[in-house]
Amino acid sequence: MTQMQWDQLLSPRRLHDKRTDSTREIGRSPFHKDHDRIVFSGSFRRLGRKTQVHPLTENDHIHTLLTHSLEVGCVGRSLGMIVGELLRDRLPDWITPADLGVIV
């Protein structure tokens, strides 16, 4: 079985980042910043005006694509963190299980 090259798969460098060093900011990894860019984008917020297609039910709860995306993201983040905990000893020192959760 081949080993994952985590240093090649996960990089703290971003295309828009002007800094040449990979210094860490306290409290937010590059992956958390990427997540925030998505959540605060206009495209993502427009999902709140799109109703998800669902069968007729007795209640009148409207489920939007934004709500669905956030719910799926929560499940994915939880699964990513579980996998991160299982892979903790194989990951680079600067990657945490929470980072894997945010990436997923």
pLDDT digits (tens, 9 = 90+) for 61-98: 777 899 889 999 999 999 999 999 999 998 888 889 99
Give 56's Cβ-side CA count (13 Å radius). Answer: 0
Every domain of the chain and the residues it spans: 28-53+62-104
Q: Comparing C-alpha atoms, which of 77, 71, 67, 73 is closest to residue 102? A: 77
Provide the mean pLDDT of the chain: 83
Query: How much is the pLDDT for 14?
Result: 77
